[in-house]
A and B are shown apart, each in its own frame.
Chain A
């Protein structure tokens, strides 16, 4: 089945009051962030989407696919589920070699060319993480960053899920700006749960959550896009310092001066 978009019909917040946002429409190609303090209901909202909520979750929300209530057959065939959720706890438990495991998944997904799909997945994952993945090593031996990168790559390439939900990937040690660029190459709906201003401002729009309810939808303005680009410059500087320190090197006052100069230079 072809998916053009999904909609979330608002329910109620934790206080029982009707959600200020009564309907959230996500169309193919949209990159959207859910923002709000801890406990504001971001994870509950992605869970509602992953579960095909039908007024049967605590929020009372309903999920529509292509404007209609989804068919239960989505849930019966492992290769048909259009929604992939990657949570902070999600991990690989299989100790199969990476390549063998991915091939198995590609076959379950009835990929016409499993080997090519596996190669594309590993390639995608390697672009997300700085540490190349060894395909004959065990899945469980991957580092945290490699695991998260491979989870995303697998959901996007082999799983080919039209809707990918990513819960706080900023903690995963992957390059966020690069990840967003790469993901935009795929015509999908990406929903990020995030505390990261860079991810939020690089999204097409963001949903502000509060008290378990969708409070407002904010479309990213042109000015915010510029702010995002500058944030990413700051981020790159911080990453540079981080790499130096992680590599056993030293940093001096000049490094932070340079960093500040580069950032304010971006303003000029």
Chain B
């Protein structure tokens, strides 16, 4: 089974890109499953189930960081999709954190970013773009040719990836993504995260809310210092 992991900032158009891709993949005879990971609310699973008749489910990470949540649940989710008989598993992540990336080795990592998000965005989103296999630019109908070209050049400069420009609302450019998905290799064990997440097991994550480094343990910094470790 091949696994497509889609990341991107909120409202960048991940759902529409996957919905359009799913409809085309199904028309080409692929069996699919869909998973949406989000923090506190998601209804995209209903969309995929009802509009396309695809096995679909969602996971809400709640108190957990959604990308950490992905690490914890993705092995079981992949087993679920396989049990559903899917040949292609589409995973839409919450896409909130610009410091880490949810991609797993052997999956097709798709970073979705909107052309309207400012031309320097590719330089700001770090691992989400750098660790992806392909960048999908959405909403290209809304920006000038010049900005499209500069935006695309900025993506390639930040991460040398193939870039697919789309107007997902109208299904424009989606076929190129579908062609790429069809070429993706099946995922295999062992499943490992592609990139290292940032400092994760920290007292802030654990719910200690006091402001000021002197209240915390783990890898810390002051306003002017470099990172240092403070154990308990």
Take A76-B162, A78-B153, A93-B116 as given contacts and tell me if A105 and B175 are in contact as well, using a CB distance cutoff of 8 Å.
no
B216 touches A (CB below 8 Å)? no
Take A94-B119, A105-B150, A108-B153 as given contacts and tell me if A56 and B141 are in contact as well, using a CB distance cutoff of 8 Å.
no
B211 touches A (CB below 8 Å)? no
Q: Are A159 and B149 in contact, CB atoms less than 8 angstroms apart?
A: yes
Residue picked from B149, B153, B176, most chain A C-beta under 10 Å = B149
User: For B152, what are the chain A residues with a Cβ–Cβ distance below 8 Å?
Assistant: 78
Q: Are A78 and B176 in contact, CB atoms less than 8 angstroms apart?
A: no
User: For A79, what are the chain B residues with a Cβ–Cβ distance below 8 Å?
Assistant: 149, 153
User: For A91, what are the chain B residues with a Cβ–Cβ distance below 8 Å?
Assistant: 142-144
User: For B170, what are the chain A residues with a Cβ–Cβ distance below 8 Å?
Assistant: 47
- Chain A 12-54 interface mask (CB, 8 Å, partner B; 1/0): 0000000000000000000000000000000000010001000
Q: Which residue of B lies closest to A109 (CB)?
A: B149
Which of B141, B147, B165 sits near A93, CB closer than 8 Å?
A: B147
Give chain B's interface secondary structure class. Answer: helix
CB of B124 to closest CB in A, whole Å: 15
User: For B163, what are the chain A residues with a Cβ–Cβ distance below 8 Å?
Assistant: 76, 78
Take A47-B172, A72-B176, A75-B176 as given contacts and tell me if A90 and B141 are in contact as well, using a CB distance cutoff of 8 Å.
yes
Take A47-B172, A56-B175, A104-B150 as given contacts and tell me if A89 and B145 are in contact as well, using a CB distance cutoff of 8 Å.
no
A201 touches B (CB below 8 Å)? no
B173 touches A (CB below 8 Å)? yes
User: For A84, what are the chain B residues with a Cβ–Cβ distance below 8 Å?
Assistant: 145
Q: Are B147 and A92 in contact, CB atoms less than 8 angstroms apart?
A: yes
Q: Which residue of B lies closest to A58 (CB)?
A: B171
User: For B194, what are the chain A residues with a Cβ–Cβ distance below 8 Å?
Assistant: none
CB of B139 to closest CB in A, whole Å: 10
A126 touches B (CB below 8 Å)? no
- Chain B 139-169 interface mask (CB, 8 Å, partner A; 1/0): 0011111111110110010000011110000
Stretch at the interface among A150-158, A180-188, A210-218: A150-158
- Chain A 224-250 interface mask (CB, 8 Å, partner B; 1/0): 000000000000000000000000000
CB of B21 to closest CB in A, whole Å: 13
B212 touches A (CB below 8 Å)? no
Take A76-B162, A87-B141, A90-B141 as given contacts and tell me if A158 and B146 are in contact as well, using a CB distance cutoff of 8 Å.
yes
- Chain A residues 83 to 102 lying within 8 A of chain B, measured CB to CB, are 84-87, 89-94, 101-102
A161 touches B (CB below 8 Å)? yes
Q: Are B144 and A92 in contact, CB atoms less than 8 angstroms apart?
A: yes
User: For B148, what are the chain A residues with a Cβ–Cβ distance below 8 Å?
Assistant: 78
Q: Which residue of A lies closest to B119 (CB)?
A: A94
Take A78-B153, A94-B119 as given contacts and tell me if A101 and B172 are in contact as well, using a CB distance cutoff of 8 Å.
no
Q: Are B172 and A159 in contact, CB atoms less than 8 angstroms apart?
A: no
B118 touches A (CB below 8 Å)? yes
CB of A110 to closest CB in B, whole Å: 10
User: For B149, what are the chain A residues with a Cβ–Cβ distance below 8 Å?
Assistant: 78-79, 81, 105, 108-109, 159
Q: How far is the CA of A256 from the CA of B158 in the complex (A)?
A: 60
- Chain B 116-145 interface mask (CB, 8 Å, partner A; 1/0): 101100000000000000000000011111
User: For B145, what are the chain A residues with a Cβ–Cβ distance below 8 Å?
Assistant: 84-86, 90, 151, 154-155, 159, 161
Q: Are A89 and B142 in contact, CB atoms less than 8 angstroms apart?
A: yes
User: For A159, what are the chain B residues with a Cβ–Cβ distance below 8 Å?
Assistant: 145-146, 149
Q: Which residue of B lies closest to A83 (CB)?
A: B145
User: For A76, what are the chain B residues with a Cβ–Cβ distance below 8 Å?
Assistant: 162-163
Q: How far is the CA of A148 from the CA of B211 in the complex (A)?
A: 50
CB of A182 to closest CB in B, whole Å: 18
Q: Which residue of A lies closest to B148 (CB)?
A: A78
Residue picked from A78, A104, A108, A154, most chain B C-beta under 10 Å = A78
Please give the residue numbers on chain B whose beta carbons come within 8 Å of chain A beta carbons, in ascending order. Answer: 116, 118-119, 141-150, 152-153, 156, 162-165, 170, 172-173, 175-176
Can you list 7 pairs linking A and B with CB atoms under 8 Å apart?
A51-B173, A87-B141, A89-B141, A91-B144, A92-B144, A151-B145, A154-B144
Please give the residue numbers on chain A whose beta carbons come within 8 Å of chain B beta carbons, in ascending order. Answer: 47, 51, 56, 72, 75-76, 78-79, 81, 84-87, 89-94, 101-102, 104-105, 108-109, 151, 154-155, 158-159, 161
Q: A92-B147, A93-B142 are in contact. List 20 more A-B contacts (CB 8 A).
A: A47-B170, A51-B172, A72-B176, A76-B163, A78-B149, A78-B150, A87-B141, A90-B141, A90-B144, A90-B145, A91-B144, A93-B143, A94-B118, A94-B147, A101-B150, A105-B150, A109-B149, A154-B146, A155-B145, A159-B146
